[in-house]
Amino acid sequence: MKTLLKNAWLLTLDDAYTDLPNGWLLTENSRIAALGNGPAPEGADEVIDCRGGLLLPGFVNTHCHASMVPFRTLGDDCPDRLRRFLFPLEQEAWTKELTYLGAKYAAAEMLLSGITTVVDMYYYEEEVIRAFLEMGLRSFPGETVICQKAPGSDTPEEALARSEALLETWKGNEWVRPVLAPHGTTTVSPDILQKCQALAEKYDTLLTLHACEMDDEMRYFSAQGQTPIAYLDSLGLCGPHLLAVHCIHLTQDDIALMASKGARIAACLGSNTKAGKGVAPIRDIARAGIAYGLGTDGPSSGNTLSLFDQMRLLAVSQKTAYHDRSLFPAREIVRAAARGGSEALGMKDAGALCPGFQADLVLVSVDRPALYPLYNPYSALVYGACAADVSLVMTGGVLRVRDGKLENVHLASLRNDLEAALPPFRRAAEKYADRI
């Protein structure tokens, strides 16, 4: 199957930031076959007129808890929400069905905002995988490993067993690349963290966890005379398998250590600033050469599953924190949302428009008034565009979104299915009315 996309402004995000106004791109099966801005080739099975829109690699969401759609708008302003509200409600009311239906709805939201790959951390991840595959979303799923009773696993050992089962089942799959997902530095014991690391090394996959995020976490390690990153390093976790999430409170020593060990970072600026936790030092992380990408966090923590929000927050948070308007030119931010995320996940054949790379693409329409005139396409994406401007999305050479709507899936049907499963969860949530 060959598909030709023509009349597009191609933002290739290659090493030279090659832009091709009035360009075209040809896909063949699951890969990019060719691109240019001269006469377009003939013989494609389908030809799509991009009407001057911006065509770029699909966005990569490096941290999400996709299934948590049912929690959205609950407890947004609740202090210590994780322990006072989220953990208790999960243990009381969460089900496999909600995991599947929540993940499917979240996948729709992500595709509609141009996300083609996601790192997910939650419970019953086999259901998340099923939902993502049905929707055509590429994923790095990880079963949450935590030292307390949790949905699907009474013990961390059970969660580890579930994790290894996923790793075995999906070994070598291009669409599903399971990861290890211990919850955090203070919610998982040292021996379990080391068991997670051993599996990450055995299967040569990522290990992702929340780190340098919470105030109580920082106080706990400060009392021991170390940082969370130094602690992870003492256990053998700070290395090329590590994808550390949030990293708000990194020290300069932490950054130097992570850079020297080849660790990676998932930055979630929306959920961090919403919770008043702080702003991650992305300027220093980038200057140290650490591979990093952007994450939405879950639909409960960050509310929207759109990297357009995260791109704008990266710009305004870093320029404000460092009092320097020149930081992070817009094209660097767009790169972080696509190629940067691919690099943080170790994807060698994604994140740029190059022949032979995966045909994971997003087309952003520039028809809306806020995007005219269009002098700098990167500035338009960071400061003016939003998820509603996404016109077309392709993953693995297959169209998933056309003219701003899901292909072969009805959003209303996904919502109705989730709504039908929500009453018991809603009744359980009412018990926490004082916190929501």
Low-confidence residues of the chain: pLDDT under 50:
none
Q: Is 132 exposed, middle or buried (0-12, 13-18, 19+ CB in 10 A)?
A: buried
Which pLDDT does position 85 carry in this prediction?
A: 80
Query: Which residues make Cβ contacts (< 8 Å) with residue 333, sequence separation at least 6?
Result: 311, 314, 315, 378, 382
Which pLDDT does position 433 carry in this prediction?
A: 73
What would the CATH number be for the domain defined by 59-344? 3.20.20.140
Domains 2-57+351-403 and 59-344 share a fold: no
Query: Which residues make Cβ contacts (< 8 Å) with residue 322, sequence separation at least 6?
Result: 283
Which pLDDT does position 77 carry in this prediction?
A: 83
Which pLDDT does position 38 carry in this prediction?
A: 86
Q: Which residue from 372, 303, 246 is spatially nearest to 75, judged by alpha carbons?
A: 303
Query: Which residues make Cβ contacts (< 8 Å) with residue 239, sequence separation at least 6?
Result: 261, 262, 263
Q: Is 374 exposed, middle or buried (0-12, 13-18, 19+ CB in 10 A)?
A: middle
Q: How far is Cα 190 from Cα 146, in angstroms, rounded to an integer?
A: 11
Q: Cα dist. 125→93, 403, 421 in Å?
A: 17, 31, 18
| Assigned token pair, 12 | 């290739």
Q: How far is Cα 126 from Cα 316, in angstroms, rounded to an integer?
A: 37
User: Contact, 210 vs 236, CB < 8 A?
Assistant: no
Which pLDDT does position 435 carry in this prediction?
A: 65
Report, at the CATH architecture level, how domain 2-57+351-403 is classified: Roll (2.30)
Q: Which residue has the tokens 């299915």?
A: 417
Domain layout of the chain by residue ranges: 2-57+351-403, 59-344
- Sheet of 181-182, strand order: 59-64, 115-122, 138-145, 181-182
